[in-house]
């Protein structure tokens, strides 16, 4: 693994393995709008049930005549928590993998970012991407993700960089190149005269 800077060009060589694929899938799942909405709905339902049960200063014995009104809320609460549980369980689960796992399943990548494009090379493929075709750059503690679509990305691991400043420099440069390409592609607004 190596990291090189040559003017505005940044180049990194790295290996990806099954754990990197799992990390990307977990990142993607955590960013899912459905996951975020489910969590907020569950929180709101829990809050509503708690307010209903505890904010009213009614002894539990007096709730028995109204038990029919409480049952649907309890059922909704349980169904949402089961959905959240299974969704979180699927995020933590291991993805379906084809072939063997371990060191034999590692792939070497070389990824170079330039102000005008991205160059990617692995054992079998050479590709280049224009920055306008990149929907977003994202990152977490362990990776920089250069998204090609909403569900696929190049995952560049932190371990590919000699230090944290190299990791941040690479991420910031990629973000800058995407923003700069979009700014250049956006036509200036015309001024109207009255």
Domain count along the chain: 2
- Mark whether 13 and 45 lie in a shared domain: no
pLDDT value of position 96: 46
110 and 164, same domain (yes or no): yes
Mean pLDDT of 143-170: 92
Judge whether residue 188 has pLDDT over 80.
no
Residues 118 and 79 in one domain: no
Choose one of 47, 64, 92: the last residue of a domain.
Answer: 92
DSSP readout, 68-91? HHHHHHHHHHHHHHHHHHHHHHHH
In a domain, 146, yes or no: yes
Q: For residue 144, which of 14, 57, 8, 53 has the smallest C-alpha distance? A: 14
Assess if residue 155 is contained within a domain. yes
Percent of the chain past pLDDT 90, that is, above it, reads: 35
CATH of the domain at 110: 2.30.29.30
Q: Is 12 among the domain residues?
A: yes
Rg (C-alpha) for the chain, rounded Å, is 25
Its domain, for residue 64, covers: 28-92
From 92, 119, 140, give the residue that closes a domain: 92
**Residues 175, 140 within the same domain:** yes
Q: How many angstroms separate the Cα of 70 from the Cα of each of 86, 148, 181?
A: 25, 48, 56
The verdict on residue 100 lying in a domain is no
Q: How far apart are CA 81 and CA 89, in angstroms?
A: 12
* 116 touches 131 (CB < 8 A): yes
Using one digit for the tens of pLDDT, what is the confidence trace for 36-94? 677 777 777 777 776 666 655 555 555 555 555 666 667 777 777 677 666 655 554 44
pLDDT of residue 85: 66
| Same-domain pairing of 111 and 181 | yes
In this structure, is residue 147 part of a structural domain? yes
pLDDT digits (tens, 9 = 90+) for 81-131: 677 666 655 554 444 454 455 455 788 999 999 999 999 999 889 999 999
Whether residue 88 sits in one domain with residue 149: no
- Averaged pLDDT score across all residues of the chain: 78
- d(C-alpha 98, C-alpha 57), whole Å: 58
């Amino acid at each position: 693994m190596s990291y090189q800077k040559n003017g505005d060009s940044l180049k990194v060589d790295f290996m990806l393995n099954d754990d990197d694929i799992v990390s990307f899938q977990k990142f993607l799942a955590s960013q899912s709008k459905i996951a975020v909405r489910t969590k907020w709905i569950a929180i709101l339902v829990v809050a509503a049930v708690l307010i209903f049960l505890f904010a009213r200063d009614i002894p539990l014995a007096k709730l028995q005549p109204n038990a029919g009104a409480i049952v649907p809320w309890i059922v909704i609460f349980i169904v949402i928590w089961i959905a959240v549980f299974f969704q979180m369980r699927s995020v933590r689960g291991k993805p379906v993998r084809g072939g063997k796992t371990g060191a034999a399943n590692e792939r070497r990548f070389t990824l170079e970012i330039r102000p005008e494009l991205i160059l990617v090379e692995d054992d079998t493929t050479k590709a280049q991407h224009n920055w306008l075709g990149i929907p977003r750059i994202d990152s977490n503690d362990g990776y920089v993700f250069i998204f090609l679509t909403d569900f696929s990305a190049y995952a560049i691991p932190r371990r590919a960089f000699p230090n944290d400043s190299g990791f941040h420099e690479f991420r910031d440069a990629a973000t800058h190149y995407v923003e700069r390409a979009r700014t250049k592609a956006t036509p200036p607004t015309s001024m109207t005269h009255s």
